Amino acid sequence: MEAEITSQAVGLTSTDFSIFKLFLRADIIVKSVILILIAASIFSWAIIIDKHKLFKKINKSSEEFEDKFWKSKSAETFFNSMPANLDDPMAKVFRGTMQSVIKVRSRSNLSERLNSTLQSNIEKQMNIIEKNFTFLASVGSTSPFIGLFGTVWGIMNSFQSIAISRNTSLAIVAPGIAEALFATALGLLAAIPAVVAYNKFSNDSRKYFQKLENFSRRFSSII
């Protein structure tokens, strides 16, 4: 009996539990789950880095644009002197609205046209800013469950190994359980940054939307 226990302990110790080996030993279902979670995590981090740079850029550029705008003599003078390649959401809202205002010859419907154009341009810019937010939310909400599916599948494989070998030793079930827990860990690894980033960027988006709204109200009043 002691010899059998010692042999099982040695077998368990010699089993490689590195991440790469866990992936190679996993069956096709668990491998698919792992690959999906890794891909989701990589794409999430790409979005997080991109959005971080975007908000940092537009907050600075919009402050500079607004400062220059309110120092200008008139909206039309500022519009005529604007660089054609100015890449800022607030500048684009202003440019698109001014182009629409200049085309309107009748003063009777100017206010209505101005407000609708402002809201349309703001919505267009916010859609660009909030692109891929849904993906972050989806990763944050579904990744733990995808990982859990891989966990359940791995544990099922462990039970099948017990049934086939009729051996309940830890050496038999340890590899399958390790693969299962690895899938759970990957699910959390993908979900947590995505949820944190989604909440932060949603808050940043609301603040920027309010900034555009404030600018549009003040701009509308002078027109």
Task: Name every residue whose Cβ is closer than 8 Å to that of residue 222 and which is 6 or more positions away in sequence.
Answer: 75
Give domain status of residue 20, yes or no. no
**Owner of token pair 């690894």:** 189
Give domain status of residue 39, yes or no. yes
- Look up residue 20 and give its two tokens: 């790469």
Looking at residue 85, what DSSP letter applies? T
Count: domains in the chain: 1
Give domain status of residue 2, yes or no. no
Give domain status of residue 76, yes or no. yes
Give domain status of residue 6, yes or no. no
Task: Name every residue whose Cβ is closer than 8 Å to that of residue 104 and which is 6 or more positions away in sequence.
Answer: 110, 113
Task: Name every residue whose Cβ is closer than 8 Å to that of residue 123 and which is 6 or more positions away in sequence.
Answer: none
Give domain status of residue 52, yes or no. yes
pLDDT for the residue 183: 83
pLDDT digits (tens, 9 = 90+) for 76-133: 888 888 887 888 999 999 888 888 877 765 566 677 778 888 999 999 999 999 999 9
Cα–Cα distance between 216 and 146 in angstroms, integer? Answer: 44
pTM metric for this prediction: 0.79
The residue segments making up the domain with residue 196 are 27-222
Greater confidence (38 vs 7) lies with: 38
Kindly tell me the sign of the dihedral angle through the C-alpha atoms of 24, 29, 33, 36. positive
Instruction: Write down how long the chain is.
Output: 223
Give domain status of residue 17, yes or no. no
Give domain status of residue 22, yes or no. no
pLDDT digits (tens, 9 = 90+) for 36-80: 999 999 999 999 999 999 999 999 999 999 998 888 888 888 888
